[in-house]
Amino acid sequence: MGKSTATLAARLARYSQQIDYLNFPPDVIHEVKRRLIDSLACALGGWRSQASQIARKMGSRVRLNEGATLLGTRHQTTPDLAAFANGTAIRYLDYNDTYLSKEPAHPSDNISAALAAAEYVGASGKRLIEAIVIAYEIQCRLCDAAALRPRGWDHVTYGPFSTALLCAKLWRLSESKTVHALGLAGNPNNALRQTRVGHLSMWKGVAFANAARNGVFAAELARLGMSGPAPIFEGEKGFMKIVSGAFKLAALRPKGPFKIMDTYIKYYPVEYHAQSAVQAALNLRNKLPKDFLKKIEAIRVRTSDISYEIIGNDPDKWHPQSRETADHSLPYIVAVALMDGRVGLAQFNDHHLRDPKLRRLIQKVRIFSDKTHSLLYGKTMGNTVSVKIQGKTYSERVDLPKGFPGNEMSDAEVESKFQSMAAPLFSERTTQNILDTIWALEKEKTIGPLLKLFEVRGEK
């Protein structure tokens, strides 16, 4: 590699080659399986969404024998289009896992690319596990190194790098070709933060799927021999100069510890900073007097600075017109939790979005940036919800939402989430077969049989 060995791309390429399943402790392997179950649960929940149907139509226009499967069908297409379609399903509900650092992210977004790239080359379950660990590691470490949001870029901008690397691992690219894949992934694929401000469109749930598509495409170009711009990170007009600003990546250790252990599964289908607000609102609801909805004078939510910026500060959050805006609206989320006494997929349907009673309740919500929650951010993920009724204020504070370190979801709860999302599409027997296969993933010689279990009969 000559002088390029000093570049960040070369470090990442070498790290991806050094990763070995044999060096993974049992808890890391187990966590990969939990994230597969959780992510595929999210995919099933979002499978019938309009965005997912559009993405599948795109993928179904190309047929590739021995390609990658469009989840829920028998159709095989190119791995980049499969990553796009399946990634849209995984991400659409905003229900998949989260990592919070200088730049927040959803590292399980990488899983659609890992599944497609693994199936494409007939990779084993063990190799799929390796690829997922790599993707989590790289995306999370990039998020630790530099925030993109303040500079106007979306967090998915890191996605082409992580997905290109997982493909390079699965496809056994040389170190040199992996460096080229990173250049081809990073140079053309920088996403604007406009995706997540104002009125949120379907693209909010599709942006990383597109990043994954681009990462897979870049790796395939490199595999076939195309060279890429370099040095992609440190170059005169490279990523650090134009996109992220200068940063240093922490040491990459092939034997761990591994970042997947520092990420969080979602218990509620809302933006992560609102997870504890949901629980606080539900707890508070049990303390309020009868017919409290008619008597509420004001609702106050105290949250961290970052939460305030992302889900509590935009005027559109008080007037959501789409599911995408509603599940990123702290006023909407707290109001619907108080009104319905639960927060699931149904709380974001068209009926709720148009409900005049809910709309009036949302207008009573005020969001405040709170110093205490801001100082504890990262160690906790807290919100305090207060309701004023006939001059009396009732308050509830939750610091550790379900799924956060110190209040983790159990295996049974992760399975229950999968079962609830699978119930409209599969029999209990098929659902259990899928779960059993994932829990024994390291025994699978290829992952094709697992993906075949996801065929939804009678639908496209």
| Interval 375-426: pLDDT, tens | 999 899 999 999 999 999 999 999 999 999 899 999 999 999 999 999 999 9
Residue 271 predicted with pLDDT over 70 = yes
Tokens representing 178?
């992996």
Which among 12, 68, 77 is positioned nearest to 231, based on CA atoms? 12
| Structural contact between residues 353 and 322, judged by C-beta atoms closer than 8 angstroms | yes
Q: Is 408 helix (H, G, I), strand (E, B) or coil?
A: coil
Enumerate domains of the chain plus CATH numbers. 2-262 (1.10.4100.10), 272-398 (3.30.1330.120)
Q: Which residue has the higher pLDDT, 124 or 290?
A: 124
pLDDT at position 344: 94
> Which DSSP helix (H) or strand (E) runs through 421?
helix 411-422
pLDDT at position 458: 73
Q: Is 403 helix (H, G, I), strand (E, B) or coil?
A: coil
Measured CA distances, 78 to 50, 84, 121, 162, 220 (Å): 21, 10, 12, 19, 10
Buried b (16+ CB within 10 A) or exposed e, 396-426: bbbbbbbbbeebebeeeebbebbbebbeebb
Quick: pLDDT tens for 28-71: 999 999 999 999 999 999 999 999 999 999 999 999 999 999 99
| Structural contact between residues 145 and 101, judged by C-beta atoms closer than 8 angstroms | no
| Structural contact between residues 259 and 137, judged by C-beta atoms closer than 8 angstroms | yes
If you average pLDDT over every residue of the chain, what do you get?
96
Compute the distance between CA of residue 393 and CA of residue 297 in angstroms, rounded to an integer.
10
Q: Token pair 């395939």 is at which residue?
A: 220
Strands 392-398 and 383-389, sheet pairing: antiparallel
pLDDT at position 68: 98
- What pLDDT band is residue 6 in, cutting at 50, 70 and 90? confident
pLDDT at position 179: 98
Tokens representing 231?
């040095």
Q: What is the Cα gyration radius of the chain?
A: 22
Quick: pLDDT tens for 419-460: 999 999 999 999 999 999 999 999 999 999 999 999 998 765
> Which DSSP helix (H) or strand (E) runs through 377?
none
pLDDT at position 460: 55
Compute the distance between CA of residue 408 and CA of residue 400 in angstroms, rounded to an integer.
9
User: pTM for this structure?
Assistant: 0.94
